[in-house]
Structure 1
């Protein structure tokens, strides 16, 4: 069974409505190009390192304006839509949350980023996600019409067991929405994405943030769709835009039968 998946590449800022407008514009193009599922990067509607702005502009899980606009959009266009990651308030906490929406406009499942990005980079960049976000605790694998989608967000990519567990729960496709720093992206992004695909014989769908943001943060871009045997099917190296590729569940089954390494776990 085949379907078309589109990954959007954004340069988000701290103005949710502006980011939403960009998502809708690119999604219109993706729909025109035949996308049946659209995926957006981490920090889709709000990218900020300012804790005050984060608290002020993070969306309510049920009543968030941007989330509900995408729910309407998915329903009106009869497509699946993964908001890859956006700050969401719930129970006095802020989560870095993926939201999967069905063509009927239903919020099918959510995933809260488990691995917090707490690092000090050699170039002076410092990130302390655990001080701003509450980490998630549960893995998420959801049945789509074509197979099963396993969810993750950005820094999760560095933890192979996260994806092994998703595969063991039945995942055929792995979503890796990200806002990788330029510094670490240049060194590790491609090889990590291809490795997760090959290790688990899953497609990897990786929409990304790109370019220089308003707060001098620079993200790597290079949104990619990777086949189960590690071939880069499509890549958007830089600038705002989108990529789209045909995904074939039979390729997952075929390569798993040819190289039965996953049966040893």
Structure 2
């Protein structure tokens, strides 16, 4: 039986990368000490900073980014897969990538993924977000092979786009991921149901490490990091918004079992959408 012990690290990142790196390292070490072979950190691990100039002042390229350097060292030291859910990376010009990176047990980067879907919304509590004014959207969906499983990479708002996770599952992903910095308002309304829905639809495990609490820049995030099994059951949750670690053992054969019971990935058919009534689509009826 294929088995993988995994962990999701919940953080409350501030605006200073050095402090966030220290917090990340302590939580990752805790996860590894609890037996985790794969550890995931949340979106914007390196800094939660809504001020554009403040963010630009701390940006580094991927090769020079201190968060990714520390993550590489931790992965090698602890002999784990370490998935930095995302951090802001300088990609030249005035734009930034919201980039997730998975490191292998030797410390080498196995894959990176740039968030595809930008959180451009106006919430009814007065919050307004325009990620596209700061971040360059990714154009490539990504899977990465661990030693016993294939992982599909997503970030936060991506979880609202089921076709992305379906495509990752069709590409063989056993585990889907959506590390996040969900706002409290949207998290309270939709966080759990979205994670469970993506698991059920695809017969896959879902792991989503989250930011939580009131951040240094004034943002408030929901927390509640989750690990969900392929039947949609929550098997581990941080039921709060405080920093911490959740751990679960994934029985990976459950993926095939769920997909054999409900083979919707195989049963999907191509179709077209037509608008109007039957009368307006063909010859006019007298």
TM-score of the superposition, structure 2-length normalised? 0.91
CA-CA distance at 1:103 after TM superposition: 0.4
Partner of 2:107: 105
Aligned with residue 145 of structure 1, among 120, 144, 147: 147
Which aligned pairs between 1:1-265 and structure 2 lie closer than 5 A?
Answer: 1-92=2-93, 93-238=95-240, 239-265=242-268
CA RMSD of aligned residues (A): 0.8
CA-CA distance at 1:138 after TM superposition: 0.3
- Structure 2, unpaired ranges of 5+: 269-286
> SS state of the match for residue 243, structure 1?
strand
Q: Which has the higher strand share?
A: 1
CA-CA distance at 1:229 after TM superposition: 0.4
- Distance in 1 (alpha carbons) for counterparts of 2:125 and 2:97: 27
Spell out, residue by residue over 1:16-52, the C-alpha distance to the aligned partner (whole angstroms, 9 max, x if none).
0100100111111111100101100001011111111
Q: Which runs of 4+ in 1 moved over 3 A?
A: none
Partner of 2:273: none
- Distance in 2 (alpha carbons) for counterparts of 1:161 and 1:58: 31
Name whichever of 58-67 and 134-143 sits farther off: 58-67
- Distance in 2 (alpha carbons) for counterparts of 1:188 and 1:48: 23
TM-score of the superposition, structure 1-length normalised? 0.98
> SS state of the match for residue 8, structure 2?
strand
- Distance in 1 (alpha carbons) for counterparts of 2:216 and 2:70: 24
CA-CA distance at 1:58 after TM superposition: 2.0
- Distance in 2 (alpha carbons) for counterparts of 1:86 and 1:231: 29
- Distance in 2 (alpha carbons) for counterparts of 1:215 and 1:91: 24
- Distance in 2 (alpha carbons) for counterparts of 1:136 and 1:90: 11
Spell out, residue by residue over 1:158-178, the C-alpha distance to the aligned partner (whole angstroms, 9 max, x if none).
111010111111111001100
Tell me if the contact between 1:46 and 1:58 (Cα under 8 Å) persists in the aligned partners. no
Tell me if the contact between 2:151 and 2:176 (Cα under 8 Å) persists in the aligned partners. yes
CA-CA distance at 1:100 after TM superposition: 0.5
> SS state of the match for residue 109, structure 1?
strand
CA-CA distance at 1:255 after TM superposition: 1.3
- Distance in 2 (alpha carbons) for counterparts of 1:217 and 1:135: 22
CA-CA distance at 1:82 after TM superposition: 0.3
Tell me if the contact between 1:85 and 1:98 (Cα under 8 Å) persists in the aligned partners. yes
Tell me if the contact between 2:48 and 2:217 (Cα under 8 Å) persists in the aligned partners. no
Q: How many residues align?
A: 265
- Distance in 2 (alpha carbons) for counterparts of 1:58 and 1:236: 30
